[in-house]
Amino acid sequence: MTSPLAEGCAVVLLSPRLGPVLPAAALPVLRAAKAVYAAPGAPEEAGAEPAPEPAELLRRAAAEPVVLIATALTDPVAAALHEAGARVLGTPEPAGAALVEATHVMDRLRSPGGCPWDAEQTHDSLRQYLVEETYELLEAIEDGDRHALREELGDVLLQVLFHARVAEEDPADPFSIDEVAGDLVGKLVGRHPHVFAGGDPAVRDAATQEVRWEELKQAEKRRESTVDGVALGQPAVALAAKLAQRTARAGFPADLLPDGDGSGATLFVVAALAKLAGEDPENELRVVARRYAEDVRAAERSAKAAGLDPATMGPDGWRAHWPGRHVSPE
């Protein structure tokens, strides 16, 4: 039968993600312990010697207060001490702890001895992946696919981590993921005075917050034009809508929107007026386009089931097999 443990025996669990970060509650216990041991796999700690076999550790723990530092209770030594009655003091992981681990993984991949492909990438070579992953995330949102949404968010996060790691190696103007995150925190706090600065009378609801956000950005970035800061590389329909939204806030009249006989002017006006009416023309067009693509696939399946080749069935064949139509070719 196992002897009772001395008072003060404990198992201190460290987070594998956070490394040698001790929980505050463990400090008095560690100071009072007669011996501090480290289980296999635990980070090296000052004053911690390798733990003996479970039976020997229990013998010592019965004679004097000992503390074992481990990363999991599944470790045989930690399990034995815990089952004998030792307290367990864990290191709570803060929200975002896995982001630290993701940063470490990215560092490993990019560093000497890591992945040759990752080591060769530049901001320019990574651009295509940023665009592709962003659209795959958009598709997951449109499909309502929660599994894909989680995966694609991770892929977009990878792009942020990758670009920040590449930027860290720039000899002329290096910056790291910490500077990126720090700038973001400063921006979010500065643009939400109604949350972080005790209130803002200009913000009453989501609509006034959006207006206030643009005003704060204008002052912060010292923009000279209403359309400064609009990403001109975004899809054309979204670009037209964004420009119309920005200029409308400055009192721009709708009768000065582009005119002309070309399709470009017509598309711009349609997108602009839709945005001013509270719609998202980019999203509306994508919904119609995706529905059209699904209808094409449905018609092709129907034709193939009837023994027809969609590539050669002609206009009447398409009409006969188009979803929602009941037209039989003569």
135-144: pLDDT as tens digits = 999 999 999 9
Q: Kindly state whether residue 32 falls inside one of the protein's structural domains.
A: yes
32 and 103 assigned to the same domain? no
Q: Kindly state whether residue 259 falls inside one of the protein's structural domains.
A: no
| pTM metric for this prediction | 0.65
What the block records as the tokens of 82 is 């815990």
37 and 83 assigned to the same domain? yes
Residue 330 pLDDT exceeds 50: no
Q: Kindly state whether residue 271 falls inside one of the protein's structural domains.
A: no
159 and 101 assigned to the same domain? yes
Higher pLDDT among residues 54 and 326, named by residue? 54
184 and 101 assigned to the same domain? yes
CA distances (Å), 133 to each of 11, 12, 231, in order?
A: 43, 41, 18
**Distance between CA atoms of 323 and 317, rounded to whole angstroms?**
12
Q: Which of 190, 212, 235 is the last residue of a domain?
A: 190
Give per-residue pLDDT as tens, 44-71. Answer: 755 689 999 999 999 999 999 999 999 8
SS3 content of the chain, % helix, strand, coil (to 5): 55, 5, 40
Q: What is the span of the domain harbouring residue 309?
A: 283-321
Q: Percent of the chain beyond pLDDT 90?
A: 65
Q: Which of 136, 160, 190 is the last residue of a domain?
A: 190
Q: Which pLDDT value is given to residue 229?
A: 84
Token pair 């400090």: residue = 27
Token pair 């990363």: residue = 71
116 and 165 assigned to the same domain? yes
Residue 298 pLDDT exceeds 70: yes
**Distance between CA atoms of 183 and 177, rounded to whole angstroms?**
10
How many independent structural domains does the chain possess? 3
CATH number, residue 182: 1.10.287.1080
In 169-280, alpha helices (H): 177-190, 193-196, 206-221, 236-249, 263-276
What the block records as the tokens of 111 is 């560093």
Residue 152 pLDDT exceeds 90: yes
42 and 84 assigned to the same domain? yes
Q: Which pLDDT value is given to residue 190?
A: 84
**What average pLDDT does range 215-228 have in this prediction?**
75
Q: Which of 166, 190, 214 is the last residue of a domain?
A: 190
Q: Which pLDDT value is given to residue 292?
A: 93
User: 157 with 134: CB under 8 angstroms?
Assistant: no
**Distance between CA atoms of 8 and 29, rounded to whole angstroms?**
7
62 and 16 assigned to the same domain? yes
**Distance from CA of residue 193 to its chain's centroid?**
25
User: 65 with 28: CB under 8 angstroms?
Assistant: no
Q: Kindly state whether residue 86 falls inside one of the protein's structural domains.
A: yes
Q: Which pLDDT value is given to residue 45?
A: 59
